[in-house]
Amino acid sequence: MWFSKSTDEVLKALEVDPHSGLSTEEARRRLEKYGYNKLKSKAKKSIISLFLSQLKDMLIYVLLAAAVITFIINEIADSIIILLVIILNAVIGAAQEYKAGKAVEALQKMTTPKAIVRRDGNVIEINSEEVVPGDIVLLDAGRYIPADLRLIESANLQIEESALTGESVPSSKDASAILDDSKTAIGDRANMAFMSTLTTYGRGEGVVVATAMETEIGKIAKILEDEDNEMTPLQKRLEELGKLLGFLAIGICAVIFLVALLQKRDLFEMFLTAISLAVAAIPEGLAAIVAIVLALGVTRMSKINAIVKRLPAVETLGSVNIICSDKTGTLTQNKMTVVRHYTYNRLTDIPASSNKLQASPDELELVRSLVLCSDATFVDGVGTGDPTEIALIVLGEKYGLGRDSTHTKFKRISENPFDSDRKLMSTLNQEGDHFRVHTKGAIDNLLKISSSVLIDGQVMPLTDEIKGNFLKVAEEMSNSALRVLGAAYKDTDKVIVPEEMEKDLTLIGLVGMIDPPRLEVKASIDKAKLAGICPVMITGDHRNTAVAIAKELGIAQSIEQSITGAEIDQMTDEEFASRINNFRVFARVSPEHKVKIVRAFKAQGNIVSMTGDGVNDAPSLKYADIGVAMGITGTDVAKGASDMILTDDNFTTIVHAIEEGRNIYNNIKKAVIFLLSCNLGEVISIFLSILLNWPVPLIATQILWVNLITDSLPAISLGIDPGDKDVMKQKPRNPRESFFAHGAAVRAITGGVLIGLLTLVDFYYGLYEHGYVLGAEMLPEDALETALPYARTMAFVVLAASQLFYSLSMRSFSKPIIKVGFFSNLYLIGSIIVGILLQLLVITVPFLANAFEVHNLSLREWGIVIAFSLVPLVVNEMFKIFMKEKN
């Protein structure tokens, strides 16, 4: 309990002299003892383990069994093709996980902060990773705290601890404080500074008492080390589908042997046929295609600033119906901006981007006083220091009063620093042959210490009427969620002590500032609401400020839709959960409240996305269905706990990611339904032929060709379909919804039955055309041997071509292809053309024709084949039109 000990006790315990610090040799020994000052990350999976993890899937097991069986029966080519598919699938999945991991590592290595320490009596700068317990660390504005420190010296020191405590306002620190209560909350430990927090004001010194995983941030990081391996609904459905198809394949083989025994057929021939049917029942390309579609989708998402850490998280995005978003930096620009200033009877709105604005003498005096009474800097668009003061410096730039030039011209002689009791700050600056006090702070306090007011360049007595005027304007600004700051001055002939500065001042005016909303966010919120998604604001800021921003963005309509953290604490979990849907703004909340908010929303059956950047946000990020970390302001712990990282910290990116997630899921569904339709067609054609005691219309090699080549190209193209432009006009998908909901099962069965029956009809026609009539007697002995290759060729081409054309209809389950656009997915058109060319190649190139046991077709036969192949497409399109008319 370092915070309950005096500075002398702490220094004695850590064996260090604060004036000289540790020696280089002692620092080296302690580095060896305690290790580097960095949070431990989980052991990275090797490429081999990532590859092997991709093989843990029922569909893969079934495919491996098919590969072994085909090898045993000496069908080496088939076995090799199946094994290549398995390897391709595993390589794609492993590569994507490895790439996502690398992207996260890159974010974590953005920059290693430096630390200023005292060693061997000298002040030096080192990497924060080399800081050890006992090091004396020097702190100043704008510098990150490298480890947990017990402060030994402080001068107006303020530290922004939101990454750890969630408190948006910087905490004032006092090195001399000794806290006796052992249960003192982290946010109340005024004599401590914690790793990864930021010094915003003043200066100080501290001795390192904990590094790496022993720090407060390290303790939270330990909680998050548990791996969460729960499967998403899509993974569960694909695994169930794999098991179903595996059992189906085994069942089909058993039925085939039973039929073979009854029909007294050749058992070895039936064994080959059973293998053909098993191969037909399993969509060999399914696992690979789903992995490819997810990988391509995730790559597309990274281009819109959303890095998805786990592939299956893409699916959950499509079901999100609540987006809980931080206000600062996500919904707003994360930079305080002065939007209005007031001098007596002159209220001026300030344009967002203009420079070199014109101003009255009183307004220039107001801006000059505020710039001179600020310690922040603003160089090349980057501000350092208190955000409020940065806003004042930027205001000065707009009026041609740059910080450096103004401070150089009017040199600061003395100051009375800000403190939370006075709520004022004053500086004494030289102006020619005299001096001027510049004071800024809360308008109420300024009015108490002012006796005059500047009006049109003249100093006039400050009457009650004028005071009331200023208070009224300040109240109007506050009601508009603006933070109000006043400025006053007084001239003096000599240097005066700080205690004399804040007396008999002349009031100049006041400014109103706000962290403005991001320009693009309002349109994104409208888009989200249209998609049935409810955006919710969560902030540590005050209720009025939060509600004003929420109203402007369209998140809330009234203050009644807001609730504070204190009010949440007064409710039971059950009461809060029952009322949660009434609220759109959660103000003055801590990271602990965030977990409660997520739980309450989930208790009402919602799928929740939660944003966060601080270490204490990590539990809520992990508990949410989709945890979204900030890439710029987010801590490494938050990024580690999240499912998705926004590289631009922008709310709009979340909405874009949800839209992309919906389209990716729909595309996977299209590809899966298409593949199942195709495989069902193959199963029906073979199974019926056996039941009818016909020759088998397709051999195993032909089925594999269709499954791996003809089917796969359109399936991948469906997987990268541009997506439905109206996808964000639909309600979020119910995560418990069946993969075959909304008529998908009917479409799969209808398509499969049509493809299977047409393949059989064309096979029958092929036999008939070449002199063999099924069931007829008194036929020549070689009639079947002569007709069979032609009939199988026609069945083979109809099967492949009907599937290729049918893929066009699968682009939308409800919109006709004419409305979707024939050429809006050129990859699919290319796949169909390539598929048809490959079919041509197989039946015209002699050595391929021999391998696949096919013959070239006549022009008339090609016409019949194409006509038959178009039937499933035409029937499905007519069904869509009929359903649309019916609805």
- Which residues are known catalytic residues? 326
Q: Is 214 exposed, middle or buried (0-12, 13-18, 19+ CB in 10 A)?
A: middle
Residue with token string 């003055």: 588
Any long-range contacts for 877-882 (C-beta under 8 Å, 24+ apart)? Answer: 877/809, 877/816, 877/817, 879/747, 879/750, 880/809, 880/812, 880/813, 880/814, 880/815, 880/816, 881/816
Cα separation of 356 and 130, whole Å? Answer: 46
Cα–Cα separations (whole angstroms), residue 820 to 216, 381, 707, 722, 825: 55, 46, 26, 10, 9
Both tokens assigned to 324: 């809980």
Residue 203 burial (C-beta neighbours within 10 Å; 0-12, 13-18, 19+):
middle
Amino acid found at 788: L
Which stretches within 172-232 are classed as H helix? 216-223
User: What are the start-end ranges of the H helices in 426-463?
Assistant: 443-449
Please say whether the dihedral angle defined by the alpha carbons of residues 549, 554, 558 and 564, taken in this order, is positive or negative. negative
Structure tokens at 448: 């108490």
Instruction: Identify the CA nearest to 158 among candidates 498, 389, 395.
Output: 389
Angle subtended at Cα 309 by Cα 304 and Cα 311, rounded to the nearest 5 degrees? 90
Question: Residue written as tokens 């990350």?
Answer: 41
Tokens of 710: 């003809």
Amino acid at 747: R
Count Cβ neighbours within 10 Å for each residue of 390-429 and write b for 16 or more, e otherwise: bbbbbbbebbebebeebbeebeeeebbebeeebebbbbbb
Closest CA to 835 of 752, 717, 749: 717
How far is the C-alpha of 754 from the C-alpha of 873, rounded, in Å? Answer: 10
